[in-house]
Structure 1
Amino acid sequence: MDSGASFLASPYKDLMKNFKTRNFGKVRLVDDEALEIAGMGDINLRTSIDTIWTLKDVIYIPRLKKMLISIDILDVQGYRVTFSDDQWKVVKGNLFVVHVWKKGTLYMVELPTKEVNSVSNDVGHSSTLWHQRLGHMSKKGMKILVSKGTIPELKDVQVSFYEPCVFGK
């Protein structure tokens, strides 16, 4: 997470989809080192709350040490980013995307780097996803909706401990 970055950047080409190879120029780091931008693509990340977070137009910088996520670019792409009570939250619409606790003086985002091949497989049947879609409705409330057939895609409500919801209330 970088409040000073003006782009999304990654050294992980293997995670990128829709990759475009070409010389995009160079980027200069705070220590004045210039690194080559070797391409651009999208990255699908599985978050700690088991949703898929798609970062669009991520530049590929092979010599970069860590991934950079620009707060400004997230804002441009329609995400709401908040920092409060030693927590960092990213929300899009009514859905939590990422929730991170502060470690020392940094908000370190630790997302699994496993490749995600599809973001559309069976997501309509997830209790957690429906919990988010419904504004973090209680398990009891969701069971009532399921019993009335309001959510036909959901057959059973299995919402386990959901840290962003519990600590956000």
Structure 2
Amino acid sequence: MCMEDYEGQLDDTEHDVNFGGGAWRVKKGSMVVARGHKRGTLYMTTSYQDTIVVVENAKQTKLWHCRWGHMSEKGMKLMIENGALPDLKTVDHQMCESCILGKQKQASFSNGGREPKSEKLELVHNDGWGPSPVASLGGS
């Protein structure tokens, strides 16, 4: 699943988010990345246009990355060059948790000192599962 958790990403990238005194701001180190003020019960954004474009481009990159089956950054750049992604001008590819989890390797099981089998079907592995707690489309 390709889900985005912006609050967690801000924290993971060491951004500091402050609310108070009728205003809010996001800082990275000493640089203010975004800020705004409170109007009623809502916090409004006061941001420069180029900042919004950068954020929007990152969102579009993430969206197309997910739509194309978690395509690599190199593949996405190639598609932009060929005009296959008209909404995207540049690739601003961020870390994708699904891609990282998919590339992790599992340790293989030991054979427990057993000799390899010489005949077909001498040793059969089965991965049984069920019954399913969710009914199928047919109702069974």
RCO comparison, higher one (Cα < 8 Å, 6+): 1
TM-score by length of 1: 0.28
The structure in which a higher percent of residues are helix is 2
Higher strand content, 1 or 2: 1
